[in-house]
Amino acid sequence: MKKFVVFDFDGVIADSKDLYTDTIYNSLIEHSLIYPKGRIARALGPKLDITLKNINHFSKNNIKVLKNGINSNIVRRAKSLKLCPYAKQTLKRLKKQKCTLVILTNSSKKFLFAFLKYNKIMKYFDKFFYAENFSDKPSKIKELAKKYKINVKNIIYVADRTKDVKIARKAGCKIIIVLACSWDKNEFHGEKYTIKSLKDIRIL
């Protein structure tokens, strides 16, 4: 049986919650828009458009302007971002186990690739899906199962947020929630699909 593992990026591979919160906060200040960091952290959504709408109902034009500035600042800070605990060791171990490893993220290609290259972990992944080349995670997971001719139930989706549990259920795949850098860690309470860190992943 093929071993197929799909990784979310933010909060699983990259410890990025504070980076997004700080960058959005500072970028909004540049436009004389002042919101508490706690409000921004609570508003973080799967995509930047959604985050900005959660913070305030900005117009489409304002969101476009804000996004450009925020994304540029995030890309510039990619190299300052830390790996989540045991990320590199776990990826290396899974490759030795002949697993096919995929990244499925709403982050931009520039940000994703800058981080992966700087941390020398790009080589462990077989496929990359980012904000610019897919739109729907459940559909993409199903598509991967079809392409690689495996049962979608044998795909493991490794993520960190409550919404990711819903994504896995919609796709019909397995789910592992990693709590170490999770953006929603306080919303999980010992569910059987949660693990403390990436080193606890076991692929049979």
User: Is residue 69 located within the same domain as residue 88?
Assistant: no
With a CB cutoff of 8 Å and minimum separation 6, the contacts of 109 are: 128, 130, 131, 132, 133
Question: Which pLDDT does position 178 carry in this prediction?
Answer: 98
Question: Which pLDDT does position 135 carry in this prediction?
Answer: 85
State the DSSP H helix or E strand holding residue 54, giving kind and residue range, or none if neither. helix 48-55
User: Is residue 184 located within the same domain as residue 133?
Assistant: yes
How distant is the alpha carbon of residue 5 from its chain centre?
14
**Residue keyed to tokens 């019909």:** 172
**Residue keyed to tokens 């796709």:** 171
User: Is residue 115 located within the same domain as residue 174?
Assistant: yes
Q: The whole model's pTM is what?
A: 0.92
User: Is residue 75 located within the same domain as residue 154?
Assistant: no
- Please give the backbone phi and psi of residue 156, each rounded to the nearest 5 degrees, phi first: -105, 125
Question: Which pLDDT does position 180 carry in this prediction?
Answer: 97
Q: Are strands 174-178 and 194-195 parallel, antiparallel or unpaired?
A: parallel
Structural domains of the chain, count: 2
Q: What string of pLDDT tens digits covers the 204 residues of the chain?
A: 679 999 999 999 999 999 999 999 999 999 999 999 999 999 998 888 889 999 998 888 889 899 889 989 998 999 899 999 999 999 999 999 999 999 999 999 999 999 999 999 999 999 999 999 988 999 999 999 999 999 999 999 999 999 999 999 999 999 999 999 999 999 999 999 999 999 999 986
CATH number at 105 reads 3.40.50.1000
**Residue keyed to tokens 């409000």:** 39
User: Is residue 99 located within the same domain as residue 28?
Assistant: no
User: Is residue 41 located within the same domain as residue 105?
Assistant: no
Question: Which pLDDT does position 46 carry in this prediction?
Answer: 84
Which among 36, 62, 79 is the end of a domain?
79
Angle at 194 between CA 21 and CA 137, to 5 degrees: 65
Q: Is the distance from CB of 14 to CB of 117 less than 8 angstroms?
A: no
User: Is residue 45 located within the same domain as residue 139?
Assistant: no
User: Is residue 10 located within the same domain as residue 22?
Assistant: no
- State the Cα–Cα distance between residues 10 and 147, nearest whole angstrom: 25
How distant is the alpha carbon of residue 130 from its chain centre?
9
Residue 24 belongs to domain spanning = 17-79
User: Is residue 74 located within the same domain as residue 139?
Assistant: no
User: Is residue 164 located within the same domain as residue 105?
Assistant: yes
Q: Is the distance from CB of 197 to CB of 58 less than 8 angstroms?
A: no
